[in-house]
């Protein structure tokens, strides 16, 4: 069964990452206030990114991975900024990247 990992942007600018077997149905549920607590309180939501996987367990694993990412890293993924995404991945454990992570460059 196909699975999807998705990122929604909520009305307050926050991101919500989830996974589902039926992306269209799940989006409709979120918009109707039947989704997660986080999105229910921050309607409307907008789909800003998704990935498709052959199996739902793969999508769920990816959801959990992305949920642990910083906002900056999620935005790099959403915007298709491969180099920034790589930089953010390397910077997770290196203090020399603090200027880049704060938006000051580096």
In sequence order, what are the residues at sequence separation of 6 or more whose Cβ sits closer than 8 angstroms to the Cβ of residue 52?
2, 3, 4, 59
In sequence order, what are the residues at sequence separation of 6 or more whose Cβ sits closer than 8 angstroms to the Cβ of residue 95?
none
Give the closest residue to 62 by CA, choosing from 3, 2, 22, 9: 3
Contact 49, 7 (CB under 8 A): yes
Dump pLDDT digits (tens) for 21-63: 999 999 999 999 998 999 999 999 999 999 999 999 999 999 9
Q: Where residue 106 falls among pLDDT bands split at 50, 70, 90?
A: very low
Residue 86, burial from CB neighbour count under 10 angstroms (0-12, 13-18, 19+)? exposed
Domain boundaries 1-68, corresponding CATH code: 3.40.1440.10
Domain ranges across the chain:
1-68, 70-106
């Amino acid at each position: 069964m196909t699975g999807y990992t998705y990122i929604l942007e909520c009305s307050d600018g926050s991101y919500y990452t989830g996974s589902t077997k039926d992306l269209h149905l799940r989006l409709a549920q979120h918009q109707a206030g039947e989704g997660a607590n986080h999105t229910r309180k921050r309607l409307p939501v907008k789909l800003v990114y998704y990935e498709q996987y052959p199996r739902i367990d793969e999508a769920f694993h990816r959801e959990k991975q992305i949920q642990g990412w910083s906002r900056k890293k999620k935005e790099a993924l959403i915007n298709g900024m491969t180099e920034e995404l790589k930089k953010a991945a390397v910077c997770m454990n290196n203090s020399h990247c603090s200027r880049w992570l704060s938006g000051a460059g580096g």
